[in-house]
Amino acid sequence: MSNPAASATPPVTAPDPSPPSFRLIEFITLFALLTSLTALTIDAILPAFPAMAASFSVADATDLQMTISLMVLGMVFGELAFGPLADAYGRKWAIVTGLLVFGTGTLIALFAQSMTMLLLGRLVQGLGVAGSKIGTRALIRDRFQGEAMARIMSFVMMILILVPMLAPALGQLVLWIAGWRAIFLMLLALALIAGAWLVVRQPETLTTERRLPIRPLPLAKTTLRILKHPQVMAYTIVAGLVFGCQVVYYSIAHSLFEDLYQAGARFPLYFAILAAGIGLASLTNGALVMRLGMYRQTLTALIGMMGISASLAILAWLGEGKPSLPVFLLLGFWLFFGVGLLFGNINALAMQSLGQVAGLGSSIIASFSSLVAVGVSFAVGPLYNQTVYPLALAFFGAAAISLVLVMSVYGRDCGEVEPVRQG
């Protein structure tokens, strides 16, 4: 099976704007750190749910699921704003501004004296982290295309996977030493380090002549062109469905491991085992995508996720909703292996046709996929009933719908989205 995207574009789109001393390994490490803020902001607080519930007199620690969902909801609005801003003012400007907003939200959460203020801080954190997410993705798109971009994204994710593997353990360590508020202090420090590193080492990749001034009518028309592009929107919905399953898992992970397996202090270990599946998949994808292509890797992941999630549901049924811990860890590992295969490829496929509107396009992709993810989270999260059924069925349904969407746009030449420059 051939991959039409493989021959459609060259692997590199523009001369490398980075200084000679800014080697690829530093580039990947910096952008992995910037991208990791999203996962770190979600995962590091998971072990602190009981302590946070006690601080704010929340009767059930599972009610803190809202701290995850509202952060993702903040990302929806932030992603809508930062895309046009990244195209108008540059990728670095968007990333740095986003980090400043993120820092503001982190301070609100750090000093929150009520659950309402904590949730507000999480919402603002989501708004800010969107700038880093959008600007980073557009900057990478400025430098790479096609399988080369998928390869870079896979290597970024290979480093990035250390975050969800280690974040709960890091959060738990900080919790033991200094309390849950210190977790937000750690997030603030990392944002400052990443921002300073970016400012000093990474040149702007969007030249002045390629910038798109913010004009409402052309912006609206260009947005409509992106929304009407079949391939962009199909892959965007797929990204949202898969991310939605992750948000569901993040929201219920601590409760699930505690309710079903009495995890206690072992929660970070179990969480890391499942997260390692994404890391192995990213390494595998980086090695194979140039040879097999993004489309084939995506199909393999989706079909595999359907089979694994169906097996998990059946084994849960045989165990009255609770498969044995080794079975759950094994199947969960391979489920997240599928997630790892998907993300580098799906995001690259969605960005493939965006070209000069990479900032706005990245904004729409991220915002729309986050909105889909919030919908999945709000729909499935409350169904948690101390079994693995909701999680297994969510993954199966998302993979099945995604498979249909990906196959429906395969081989279609829909062209590249051109910006509307005048009203």
What is the chain's pLDDT, residue by residue, as a tens digit (423 residues)? 333 333 333 333 444 555 545 577 788 788 888 888 888 898 899 888 888 988 988 876 566 878 888 898 898 888 888 878 887 888 889 999 999 999 999 999 999 999 999 999 999 999 999 888 888 877 877 777 666 666 776 666 666 667 777 888 888 999 999 999 999 999 999 999 999 999 888 888 887 877 777 788 887 888 888 888 888 889 899 999 998 998 888 888 888 898 888 887 888 889 888 888 887 887 787 777 667 777 888 888 899 999 999 999 999 888 888 889 999 999 999 999 998 888 768 877 887 777 667 667 777 887 888 889 888 988 888 888 888 999 999 999 999 999 999 998 876 666 666 666 665
For 21-202+213-409, CATH number?
Answer: 1.20.1250.20
Domain boundaries, the chain: 21-202+213-409
Predicted structure pTM score? 0.74
Helix, strand, coil % in the chain, rounded to nearest 5: 80, 0, 20
Distance CA 343, CA 334 (A): 15
Distance CA 378, CA 367 (A): 16
What is the per-residue pLDDT across 128-140, written as a single tens digit (0 to 9) for each? 998 888 888 778 7
User: What is the per-residue burial (b if ≥16 Cβ within 10 Å, else e) of 144-169?
Assistant: bbbbbbbbbbbbbbbbbbbbbbbbbb
Output phi, psi for 79, to 5 deg. Answer: -65, -35
* Angle subtended at Cα 382 by Cα 378 and Cα 385, rounded to the nearest 5 degrees: 150
Query: What single-letter DSSP state applies at residue 416?
Result: P
Among 355, 420, 351, 362, which Cα is nearest to 83's?
362
What is the per-residue pLDDT across 317-338, written as a single tens digit (0 to 9) for each? 888 888 899 999 999 999 999 9
